[in-house]
């Protein structure tokens, strides 16, 4: 277990991203080192944060904590190969309790059972510690304090539009009054919909824990892991799976909103939506370790997006229920993470033109034409829909856009957008070959070659000795490292090697890498972007610099929080995590790097 230093009161003195995540592919919750739930949105990832202390550190913040009198220290770990989190709290006399947290998920009657329910089980480890329960949910982004009503074994928290029910075998009077009491027996707490349990509280909690743990262990057992760094890959894979909203197949970029990309930077965004770019890379990473069910779920969601576009503009992101309108607003009543506002809800990027989206769609869908394991392989009908996407990619590849970094006040012909448009045409040619459509093979190969020639001619800068951010430009951008990942260029091409060397000199920050060098709407980025560091690792490996790649990868592993999770950004000087959390882009980068760098199994068996 990992030790955590916490304030004497038992609650974290200052919020950090040393958080664990529990979830069940319907919702999630973030738990701090002393077992306090500080973030949980219901009824979906993009819903109202019933617990919001992560972005409201004031007395008005909502949380669910177990506070130990005379608290001294805490330990925390995941049950191996599961999404079940265990936190131990100890007082000054060495007396302690263990909190087991999870969101139920298992197969029941042939279907996956994933209720909107948090189960918390408290067990006494030693002595007779005194504890109290701080259960303070709020509704409407913290504006509404619920009314409470008490039953014989439950408490209802009733808001203007919804209600939650706590079923517990702990003393309800102490829960409601937040009174310290002696913990002298196991206790169970089940928070969820305002419904009656079908079985007893303890039986329900115990049975759900057993079945949820078994579910995750069976899921993990089916993964095809690299020999090295297996625990890190397993934790990353579970985290990515938990980012799937299974009801529709959407994959969220992160669970949070408005964690700043750097201290006091104002770079605070809402990431609780499905970016087609991020989702493609997530399914690609999971596919690399033989987890294809997430891709199948995502393709159902993606197919809806493609069909409704009718060959026209496709947004870079949508709501997890395919919502097209994600109006961005600022909640001025919330102070923000560590008091660093603003807190934003919604994301203006949904209104952007980001032309790499078309390549990400085709890349995300193309495996469905090649993979014989899938329950339903794609065919000519799906190919027709994707061809319409490819036509749009070809129409716009050399037109200015906001780019993958979602610049709000500047449009250019971004190399990364043209690169993904090339990938769309290239993969369509490969799919056409599988479908025995020779005329379409020729058609898409010609289009891919047209784009490729333009990129090689207009995105290369002799002055910088590098591929650059935009056609005819000179600014550097780490996204050009994707050229080898999508097989656009041979990694041993002198131009790519020169590009990597230039980017390392200019954007490298020790082992880390920043996104780009040109100032944006907020100035120059202060922190390193984790996925760019993983792109750097990938590029180094491909050109044969494995020793350097492994060294940087080990530094990235050391940058994770104590539970093995990563946010979006890392501050190179302090090592602190910044940006929304946990970031799927970062976690999938970890998987990709481990798979590429690991020694093979046949070296030990």
| pLDDT value, residue 384 | 95
| pLDDT value, residue 14 | 60
| pLDDT value, residue 525 | 84
Provide the β-strand partners of residue 445.
none
| pLDDT value, residue 89 | 98
| pLDDT value, residue 13 | 44
The CATH classification number of 2-199 equals: 2.70.98
**What is the signed CA dihedral for 462, 464, 466, 467, rounded to 10 degrees?**
-80
2-199 and 226-603: same fold?
Answer: no
CB atoms within 10 A of CB 343: 24
The CATH classification number of 226-603 equals: 1.50.10.10
574 conformational bin, left if phi > 0, alpha if psi -120 to 50, beta if neither? alpha
| pLDDT value, residue 212 | 98
Burial-class residue 332 by CB neighbours within 10 Å (0-12, 13-18, 19+).
Answer: exposed
DSSP string spanning 410-443?
Answer: --B-BHHHHHHHHHHHHHHHHHHHHTT-HHHHHH
Domain boundaries, the chain: 2-199, 226-603
Low-confidence residues of the chain: pLDDT under 50: 3-10, 12-13
The rounded distance, in Å, linking the Cα atoms of 87 and 1 is 9
For the stretch 404-423, what's the b/e string if a residue is b when 16 or more beta carbons lie within 10 angstroms of its beta carbon?
A: bbbbeeeebbbbbbbbbbbb
**What is the signed CA dihedral for 528, 534, 537, 538, rounded to 10 degrees?**
-140
What share of residues in the chain are helix, strand, coil (percent, to 5)?
A: 35, 20, 45
């Amino acid at each position: 277990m990992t030790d955590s230093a916490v304030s004497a009161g038992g609650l974290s003195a200052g919020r950090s991203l040393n958080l664990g995540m529990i979830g069940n592919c319907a919702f999630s919750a973030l738990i701090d080192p002393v077992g306090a739930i500080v973030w949980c949105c219901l009824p979906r990832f993009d819903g109202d944060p019933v617990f919001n202390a992560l972005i409201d550190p004031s007395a008005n913040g909502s949380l669910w904590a177990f506070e130990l009198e005379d608290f001294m220290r805490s330990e925390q770990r995941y049950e191996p190969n599961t999404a079940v989190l265990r936190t131990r709290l100890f007082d000054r006399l060495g007396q302690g309790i263990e909190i087991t947290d999870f969101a139920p998920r298992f197969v029941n009657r042939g279907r996956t059972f994933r209720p909107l329910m948090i189960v918390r089980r408290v067990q006494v480890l030693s002595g007779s510690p005194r504890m109290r329960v701080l259960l303070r949910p709020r509704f409407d982004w913290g504006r509404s304090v619920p009314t409470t009503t008490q039953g014989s074994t439950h408490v209802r928290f009733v808001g203007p539009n919804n209600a939650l029910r706590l079923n517990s075998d702990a003393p309800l009077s102490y829960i409601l009054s937040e009174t310290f009491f002696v913990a002298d027996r196991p206790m169970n707490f089940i928070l969820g919909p305002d419904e009656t349990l079908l079985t007893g509280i303890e039986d329900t909690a115990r049975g759900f824990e057993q079945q949820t743990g078994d579910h995750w262990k069976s899921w993990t057992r089916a993964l095809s892991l690299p020999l090295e760094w297996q625990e890190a890959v397993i934790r990353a894979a579970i985290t990515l799976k938990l980012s799937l909203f299974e009801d529709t197949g959407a994959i969220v970029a992160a669970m949070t909103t408005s964690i700043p990309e750097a201290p006091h930077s104002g770079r605070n965004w809402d990431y609780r939506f499905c970016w087609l770019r991020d989702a493609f890379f997530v399914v690609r990473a999971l596919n690399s370790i033989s987890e294809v069910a997430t891709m199948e779920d995502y393709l159902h969601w993606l197919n809806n997006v493609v069909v409704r576009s009718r060959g026209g503009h496709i947004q870079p992101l949508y709501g997890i229920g395919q919502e097209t309108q994600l109006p961005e607003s600022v909640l001025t009543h919330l102070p923000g993470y560590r008091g660093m506002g603003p807190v934003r809800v919604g994301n203006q990027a949904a209104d952007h033109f980001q032309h790499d989206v078309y390549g990400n769609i085709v890349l995300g869908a193309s495996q469905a034409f090649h993979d014989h394991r899938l329950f339903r392989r794609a065919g000519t009908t799906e190919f027709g829909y994707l061809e319409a996407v490819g036509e749009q990619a070809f129409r716009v590849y050399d037109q200015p856009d906001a780019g993958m970094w979602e610049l709000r006040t500047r449009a250019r012909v971004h190399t990364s957008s043209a690169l993904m448009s090339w990938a769309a045409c290239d993969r369509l040619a490969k799919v056409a070959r599988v479908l025995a459509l020779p005329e379409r093979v020729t058609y898409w190969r010609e289009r891919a070659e047209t784009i490729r020639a333009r990129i090689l001619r207009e995105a290369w800068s002799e002055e910088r000795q590098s591929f650059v951010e935009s056609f005819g430009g000179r600014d550097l951008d780490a996204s050009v490292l994707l050229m080898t990942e999508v097989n656009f260029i041979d990694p041993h091409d002198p131009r790519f090697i020169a590009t990597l060397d230039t980017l390392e000199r200019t954007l490298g920050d020790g082992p880390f890498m920043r996104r780009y060098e040109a100032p944006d709407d907020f100035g120059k980025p202060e922190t390193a972007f984790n996925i760019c560091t993983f792109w750097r690792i990938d590029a180094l490996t491909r050109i044969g610099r494995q020793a350097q790649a492994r060294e940087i990868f080990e530094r990235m592993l050391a940058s994770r929080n104590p539970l093995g999770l990563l946010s979006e950004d890392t501050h190179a000087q302090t090592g602190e995590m910044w940006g929304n959390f946990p970031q799927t882009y970062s976690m999938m980068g970890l998987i990709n790097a481990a798979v590429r760098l690991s020694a093979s199994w046949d070296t030990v068996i």
